[in-house]
Amino acid sequence: MAKSKFEYVRSFETDDTCLRNCYIVVRLDGRNFHKFAEQHNFTKPNDDRALGLMARSARSVMEDLEDIVVAYGQSDEFSFVFKRSTNWFKRRGSKLMTHVASQFSSSYVFYWKEYFGEQPLLYPPGFDGRVVLYPTNRNLKDYLSWRQADCHINNLYNTAFWTLVQKGGLSTAQAEDRLNGTLSADKNEMLFSEFNMNYNNESPLHRKGTTLIWEKVDETSTKTITLPKEGEKEVTFTRSRRKVTAHNCDIIGDLFWEEHPDILEEDS
Ligand code: DGT
Ligand code: MG
Ligand code: MG
Ligand code: MG
Ligand code: MG
């Protein structure tokens, strides 16, 4: 086919192929969720409906896009890890990132009602995205550890802060003053001695965030079949299916990775 004289504009496109052998991480973060949370009456410090909707949307991303082996989310963010050998969209960063962001955003709106019920969605939410490459398993685990440590630090602070306000009767300014300069141990101690709360017994969803992986799950179902001689008969059968499963556990230590050795490929 003859090319039009306009064809040359293609050459203005730049190459954004992600380096081979590296894990490709796409991290999304809610745009201005400080305001979004207020306007949609998110409970403080954690709203389980909002966290559930984030995880549901992330599952939709994993199920609908190819080659995502693990995803980790907390607050208004989710990170998606493509396997290091992926060749999806020829490893073009912009394609991967925009597919993740748009699938996530449309899912967030699509599933809103399942989580928020009568609370209406007041305006269309948006998510920014970035792509980061990690060449080794150590680097990738350290990346995920960094996000989970962020979850821990923020959640401990927010738990202490809102406990002082909601149960201790302090103003938000007083609570901020009170926590200024405190270490983790101080916050744990304050929650324990003043409010009889053991931080370690707080919800793992809030303390650890959500990790999504693919796992083989046995599914049992029963079916009624009609046999020529015996007539109607109930039969049970089990089949193994690959499913996205959610975990609210520590991913900084080795245990999680030892229990799920299939997530990462060997460094070569
Ligand atoms: P950005 O990301 O620069 O566009 O701005 P933000 O406002 O999204 O800031 P970011 O992402 O650093 O912080 C997340 C905000 O989302 C933070 O202000 C608290 C809010 N948020 C996230 N999850 C919850 C929740 O479960 N409950 C409440 N009340 N707020 C939440
Ligand atoms: Mg931000
Ligand atoms: Mg945000
Ligand atoms: Mg954020
Ligand atoms: Mg097209």
Q: How far is the CA of 74 from the centre of ligand 2 (A)?
A: 13
pLDDT (tens digit, 0 to 9) for every residue of the chain, 268 residues total?
679 999 999 999 999 999 999 999 999 999 999 999 999 999 999 999 999 999 999 999 999 999 999 999 999 999 999 999 999 999 999 999 999 999 999 999 999 999 999 999 999 999 999 999 999 999 999 999 999 999 999 999 999 999 999 999 999 999 999 999 999 999 999 999 999 999 999 999 999 999 999 999 998 888 898 988 888 989 998 899 999 999 999 999 999 999 999 999 988 7
| 70: region left, alpha or beta (phi > 0 left; psi from -120 to 50 alpha) | beta
Given CATH 3.30.70.3000, say whether it is the number of domain 16-208: yes
Nearest 5°: CA angle at 90, between 89 and 91?
85
| Residues in CB range of 198: below 8 A, 6 or more apart | 191, 192
C-beta of 75 in contact with ligand 1 (< 6 A): yes
pLDDT of res. 229:
86
Closest ligand 1 atom to 43 CA: 29
C-beta of 63 in contact with ligand 1 (< 6 A): no
| Residues in CB range of 233: below 8 A, 6 or more apart | 224, 225, 226, 227
Best mutation site among 76, 116, 119, 158 for ligand 1 pocket (most ligand atoms within 8 Å of CB) = 76
Q: How far is the CA of 36 from the centre of ligand 1 (A)?
A: 8
Closest ligand 1 atom to 30 CA: 8
C-beta of 78 in contact with ligand 1 (< 6 A): no
pLDDT of res. 260:
97
* Contact between residue 153 and residue 188 where contact means Cβ atoms under 8 Å apart: no
Enumerate the β-bridge partners of residue 28.
78, 129
CA distance 207 to 249: 9
pLDDT of res. 219:
87
Q: How far is the CA of 151 from the centre of ligand 1 (A)?
A: 12
ipTM score here?
0.96
Mapping DSSP onto H, E and C, the string for 89-132 reads HHHEHHHHHHHHHHHHHHHHHHCHHHHHCCCCCCCCCCEEEEEE
CA distance 220 to 92: 40
Nearest 5°: CA angle at 52, between 31 and 113?
80
For residue 155, count other CB atoms closer than 10 A to its CB. Answer: 22
